[in-house]
């Protein structure tokens, strides 16, 4: 899982969560949040396992 931080021009910070396959480097799942939270990471991980 990778978490990237992006700050917009209007000074809002977004956290982009991605689950990437190590072999193919393909993005399996992604989500964007306003806050960095552990619960969000767990939900994103569960969603990627269901696909």
Q: What digits encode the pLDDT tens for the residues 8-20?
A: 898 888 999 899 9
pLDDT of residue 12: 87
Contacts of 38 (CB under 8 A, 6+ apart): none
Q: Of 4, 35, 34, 6, give the one whose Cα is nearest residue 17.
A: 4
Contacts of 34 (CB under 8 A, 6+ apart): 12, 13, 14, 15
Tell me how far the alpha carbon of residue 15 is from its chain's centroid: 7
pLDDT of residue 9: 92
Could you read off the pLDDT of 28-40 as tens digits, one per residue? 999 888 776 555 5
Which H helix or E strand runs over 49?
A: helix 38-50
Tell me the pTM: 0.59
Q: Is 11 helix (H, G, I), strand (E, B) or coil?
A: coil
Domain ranges within the chain, ordered by starting residue? 2-40
């Amino acid at each position: 899982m990778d978490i990237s931080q992006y700050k917009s021009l209007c000074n809002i910070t977004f956290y982009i969560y991605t689950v990437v396959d190590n072999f193919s480097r393909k993005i399996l799942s992604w989500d964007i949040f306003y806050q960095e939270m552990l619960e969000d990471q767990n939900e994103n991980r569960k969603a990627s396992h269901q696909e």
